[in-house]
Structure 1
């Protein structure tokens, strides 16, 4: 008796499931595949452990056709198109619809509803949608993104909206809100027509009755007031008049003339005064001299006798406030008992007065500043003490914590391992120095010079390093602007002074001539001719040598 392990008719309950002890493979089939470099999902043909799937599959016997009646031609090359997945072909392709919805207004005798336009974006790559309401300045309504990008549900069964479901002149119901689609852009119309969808006739966006009523002036039999705060807020928002003035405070103890800037805010007729602080002026970093407030120009006579130090001025006690007509360039204005001379204004302020107050003349004046800081004394740099290089010693005078001098990195990389070697003798009155021979090396990467003394037998002087790598300034150069030796100064027979020691150049290796000829436009002609005459005569008696005494007439660079 054989037991049927695949008894699928039994309910999947404890006690009704049996495990096949003969089955050893439990791996799942691969469903991810790549075609032409793109990832593609593949439907599995078998189940776990190579078991057949339970879905309805067509068997091979259902496709039994008699192929004798057909004649197939042979093609040398298969005709097929390159496969492109949908998420690549539809990437960054978005359908845009213009719609609106009606918002009911309760408990308002002036309006019953309001029309709010929105823009619906449909992303073809993943069938997601988002709804955005354009921002209207000073609308007082929270606008912007109404529904973030997601797949919008179509019905209660779990279906989602597709591009086939969208059309003009239809209602789109999303999360209890009904959006009426009226228009679409040119790309959306072309895409829909290419897919065989006939779009309905576009509709006009309805006009918001509240906005239309506000644009139509209401009949009025009274003279409208010039002080319309709402109109002033909507028309003068973020518009500021800026004046440059001098505050004369020289009469007080330790007083002086200070530069300030005066800002007049047209949105609410307030004034703010700020000091203009110069660098290293020694003043506290609090530039606000007077906070933003309305400045009274005339106070009623009944309140004028009250002590101003404790008087809280209100609108009932003020006859007139300062206005833009009171700020004239070239005149002195008194604000809170302090005189300010207006000598200049910015460009937007001039345009405002030319448009609104053409009768007022704005003439800037030149104001000599009596509180100008004395000219800073030039920093005196002490003489070079001989320790370290000139650049390192100069950094100690420029900052408390010295920083390393900047290096020319490009020059170091281009001229790395490039050295110019010269033979030199010491120009000295001492007869013992006549036989001394030196090798002077000039490093092109950092313009440093090193001097090596060749050991001479029975001279009594130990040879070796005479000068380590350092930059050598020319005699007579200042510490502020030092002038260093360069290859243009090294001619055969020239005298080079190195820290109070005089060296006479007698010979050079062949690489020096080759390098200087490559940059002949930067080298003086006498220097180049002296090297050409010396190197082309033949090998000299005193050839340049390294520390071990080897010939370095052909250096490796």
Structure 2
């Protein structure tokens, strides 16, 4: 009975085997790999833990028995190519085998993007042609893709041919007449006919790569041929015959050489003699291509005129009519050559002079640079020099805009906006002032002053009425509230809503409104015909005015200090407490 022995010669029994403590890998080696996107499986060469397989060890032992020691080298050194190839050979069963063969590369990788290119032509028949031609020649390019033996045929684009061109046959394997057989690159050569889907393509030329490839494969190419030209295309490329006429004037010369060349003049249209006349700036365009004239108004924003730019459409302007055709207006929009003896020309437009067009007078005072260059080159006898012309004011220009007087409805700012624009915009507000003085109110106590013309009973009734006048610092508005008194005969409540109150005898267009500087103790406030006398104020009023002494007169501040200081002293005496606030005043 034989026992299995390990590497140390001991039986493979428990207690007699030893484990390699330095081993760290126990995974199984990978046998699947990918090459150029394709999965390839190979036999494992290592076992678990990357140890060599027993079969691999035996293979190396067998190969070592067939090692060949070369004898003395009669043909040179060991570094020669002959001995290198001899050493690289190994023997397997008596047959020399190269242990390091070159790597295998598939055909689709070797022949990728390698294309044979042939130039060919075919004749396409013409049915029911008007001329004597029965067919015309069409050129094509044949591509042969060595990667998968597919072919495609493209027709180059010819301008204005009237034929659908481009890709005639998409990339595919082209069949032969024999069933089941396809064209191969071995079947292609110069000077042969290629029959594909009912058309015969005659191959005439090829490129340099195709020629080198065919020669490397042992195929001798025929002599290249010239690509024939189509008779119709050749005839169309010929220049048309020209004829010299005896006339000294060419009607097309002006159209071909003067197209998009325009003379531009800046002028003033004097229309002051009409009822609503004025002097308007205009631009006169003279088109050299057909001697037509166009007049455009120079529209200004907020001029009160409708923005209609064209004053006169583009047309030829008659300068002198033929005898018998002087009547105006005529029955047509534009006079013809049979009726007009002479039209306006560039010589009739001179900068600095007056020109009359269609009964309207225009003073030319300037022109652009192209117009100046044109006159210097073609009409040097005409002097072009810009002039300074004072624009004549119309009847309504220069008049001062008068704002109608304030009618008393709404605020003054809202009424003014309706005079400035057709669609009134809300007046602008001082947002920063509103945010800083929000909820800041100056309150005063007031009594009404009865006019002298009132009766004694009315004076007695008004004497007991008390009001609270509030001044809002955020928007300078004033509101008046009447204190309710039982059996007084007057309903208390809001006497005046918040509004800005102008001072009496101030101008309506620019009124002077009441401010905190005008409210002193004992002063009279005229509110739309009602007079109030201020008799008291809050302590906050005094604090606000002391913090802003630059805006408040000293007399107003003294009256408040005197009034509020006396009240604080009286309150302190009645309560028997401290009068520190009164002393500070």
TM-score by length of 1: 0.45
Which structure has the larger Rg?
2
